């Protein structure tokens, strides 16, 4: 599900146990409404938006198509209702009535309670229905009924109540588990709030149990399934704040307060003060650098920014301050290198997801032991300080025809600033998305290009070849030296390593295939051996001359077949090889 944060609705919060209290924001001013009105379509009065992802990602519209997003319509309704002027409140009533009419309100329908992404693309015309829209729309609808019920006409108020009930019916029927972090928590917020607003005990009871399930799961695993996500950890924080504002039930509030503290602990331990970036690895992210809005929202809650700089978006409701015990993370520069380890997901030992985050006074580097190369995953990512305003970003990617490839995986061992990595493929997954564009019948991808690529984005990024197996990516006073193993191969063909440099970009690419379009049947692919090492060094530090080596392994599983090993002896502290399957595997 692609998050579309057009303008964030953040809700007013009561004082929460363990926090200093809520930070007030106030209502929407007539001047702010005037700015919103500039984005309204004069033909139908609905706000404009743009389809920002590839065709086939839920919508059949081409990327860049101008559309009327249903989430924006709901948001705008709330903003207009928050104005002190009656004429704006009337406009809010009109917008709300229009968006409520776009919900599937047929109880016999599979999509009962859901909205399509766009007003001009009904549910029946979407590439894939996004069932999360009951959750996203329900959160704002609950706020409208909680705060602005007296500003709604009698007819629209009753329609809004029914619509919120339908959202809850859809959420309960779908019954998302705690592994789907942001939606699992969001659904608990909608149902518990609706239970109190609509006086339906069934909903409150469900919401109470569901938020408790999220806390139980967090304690069992040791973190959120959507781990360390700059996008979705903030969604979790927004929604827990929303629960504390909307819901008076003591059980819900107690659990929400504890989860909120745990979410902020994750943010605090990954915030790198020297760069102002959120250290990796990231389970899901929509950009390589923190947005100004997200960074300022964090620092504002930490008491480090005045309220007039917090965000560019309208805020109907205040945010809860970060606990005092965590505030030092957002202002202290590490005096000595710090390395933290996390359990993100449990399972088969060879597929457990463990995280490593290293940082010092100039740089940070993070990895997950296992991840896919879906465009939202950042399984290996680093940042460091530079003399210009654009923070250098170092990433490892795998590309199919120039785009991030969901059917490739990466495995990493990290010790401080050194990482060894292995890369392979997955059967029966998609290219653009893990699920949406799977080649179900054939298991075959057509390609003109497959590449593994270490890339550095920075204004002064450069790349240099040191020798046939070592390459250097540099920006400012820090460089990443890439070491590649001899005889890396893809489907039996030798991988060729090359360098690339252009404005603000430098890269080391392993070309797995490049040429005329060719069919690659992943279910029958030959062996794949791709291994490399990375060192993050200051310019005065000498890179290692020790090679990355493939080693034979006796390890084998019924599900994945034979594994090979990768060693960087004398460089990594651990001489136990990194193991990776030789053939494409099931996820």
- pLDDT for 156-169, tens place per residue? 999 999 999 999 99
d(CA 95, CA 125): 23
Pairing assessment for the beta strands 561-567 and 556-557 based on DSSP bridges: antiparallel
DSSP-assigned letters across all residues of 328-392: GGGTPPPSS-EEEEEEEE-SSGGG-EEEEEEE-SSEEEEEESEEE--TT-BSEEEEE--SSSS--
Q: Is 20 exposed, middle or buried (0-12, 13-18, 19+ CB in 10 A)?
A: middle
Tokens representing residue 5 in the block: 């944060």
> Residue 585 in 3-state DSSP?
strand
| pLDDT score of 555 more than 50 | yes
| pLDDT score of 309 more than 70 | no
From the centroid of its chain, how far is CA 576? 32
Pairing assessment for the beta strands 370-372 and 277-278 based on DSSP bridges: unpaired
Of 304, 294, 323, 318, the C-alpha closest to 230 is: 294
pLDDT at 387: 77
- String of b and e for 536-556 (b: at least 16 CB within 10 Å)? bbeeeeebbeebbebeeeeee
pTM: 0.90
Q: Write out pLDDT tens, residues 83-136.
A: 999 999 999 999 999 999 999 999 999 999 999 999 999 999 999 999 999 999
Q: Write out pLDDT tens, residues 529-542.
A: 999 999 999 999 99
pLDDT at 225: 83
Of 130, 28, 108, 29, the C-alpha closest to 75 is: 28
| pLDDT score of 312 more than 90 | no
Give the chain's mean pLDDT: 90
| pLDDT score of 344 more than 70 | yes
Of 135, 129, 107, the C-alpha closest to 117 is: 129
Kindly state the percentage of the chain with pLDDT values over 90. Answer: 77
Confidence tier at 15 by pLDDT (50, 70, 90): very low
H or E, element range at 157: helix 154-174
Tokens 């709300």 belong to residue = 96
Q: Helix, strand, coil % (nearest 5) of the chain? A: 30, 25, 45
Tokens 């310019």 belong to residue = 539
């Amino acid at each position: 599900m692609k998050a579309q944060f057009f303008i964030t609705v953040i809700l007013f919060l009561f004082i929460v146990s363990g926090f200093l209290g809520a930070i007030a924001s106030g209502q929407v001013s007539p001047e702010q409404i005037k700015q919103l009105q500039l984005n309204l379509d004069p033909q139908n009065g609905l706000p404009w938006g743009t389809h920002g992802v590839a065709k086939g990602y839920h919508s059949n519209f081409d990327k860049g198509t101008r559309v009327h997003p249903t989430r924006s319509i709901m948001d705008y309704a709330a903003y207009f209702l928050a104005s002190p002027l009656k004429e704006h409140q009337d406009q809010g009533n009109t917008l709300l009535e229009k968006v409520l009419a776009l919900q599937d309100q047929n109880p016999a329908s599979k999509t009962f309670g859901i909205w399509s992404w766009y007003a001009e693309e009904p549910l029946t015309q979407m590439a894939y229905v996004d069932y999360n829209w009951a959750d996203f729309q329900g959160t704002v609808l609950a706020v409208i009924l909680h705060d602005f019920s007296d500003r709604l006409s009698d007819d629209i108020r009753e329609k809004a109540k029914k619509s919120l009930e339908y959202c809850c019916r859809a959420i309960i029927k779908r019954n998302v588990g705690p592994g789907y972090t942001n939606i699992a928590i969001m659904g608990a917020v909608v149902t518990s709030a609706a239970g109190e607003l609509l006086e339906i005990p069934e909903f409150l009871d469900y919401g109470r149990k569901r938020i408790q399930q999220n806390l139980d799961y967090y304690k069992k695993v040791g973190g959120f399934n959507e781990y360390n996500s700059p996008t979705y950890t903030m969604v979790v924080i927004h929604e827990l704040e929303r629960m504390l504002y909307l819901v008076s039930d003591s059980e819900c509030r107690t659990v929400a307060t504890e989860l909120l503290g745990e979410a902020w602990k994750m943010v605090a331990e990954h915030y790198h003060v020297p760069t102002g970036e959120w250290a990796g690895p990231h389970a899901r992210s929509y950009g390589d650098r923190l947005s100004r809005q997200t960074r300022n929202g964090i620092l504002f809650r930490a008491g480090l920014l005045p309220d007039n700089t917090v965000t560019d978006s309208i805020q109907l409701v205040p945010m809860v301050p970060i606990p005092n015990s965590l505030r030092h993370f957002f202002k202290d520069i590490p005096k000595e290198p710090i390395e933290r380890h996390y359990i993100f997901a449990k399972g088969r030992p060879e597929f457990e997801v463990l995280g490593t985050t290293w940082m010092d006074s100039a740089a940070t580097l993070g990895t997950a032991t296992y991840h896919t190369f879906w465009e939202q995953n950042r399984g290996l990512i680093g940042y460091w300080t530079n003399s210009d305003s654009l923070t250098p970003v170092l990433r490892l990617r795998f590309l199919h025809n120039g785009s991030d490839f969901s059917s490739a995986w990466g495995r990493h061992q990290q010790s401080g600033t050194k990482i060894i990595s292995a890369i392979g493929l997955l059967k029966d997954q998609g290219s653009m998305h893990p699920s949406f564009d799977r080649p179900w019948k054939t298991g075959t991808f057509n390609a003109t290009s497959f590449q593994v690529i270490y890339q550095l984005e920075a204004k002064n990024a450069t790349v240099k070849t040191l020798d046939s197996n070592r390459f250097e990516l540099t920006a400012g006073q820090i460089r990443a030296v890439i070491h590649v193993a001899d005889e890396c191969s893809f489907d039996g063909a030798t991988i060729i390593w090359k360098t690339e440099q252009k404005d603000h970009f430098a890269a080391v690419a392993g070309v797995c295939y490049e040429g005329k379009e060719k069919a690659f049947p992943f279910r029958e692919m030959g062996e794949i051996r791709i291994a490399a090492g990375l060192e993050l060094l200051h310019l005065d530090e000498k890179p290692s001359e020790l090679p990355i080596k493939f080693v034979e392994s006796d390890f084998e599983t019924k599900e994945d077949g034979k594994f090979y090993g990768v060693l960087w002896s004398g460089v990594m502290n651990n001489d136990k090889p990194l193991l990776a399957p030789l053939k494409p595997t099931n996820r």
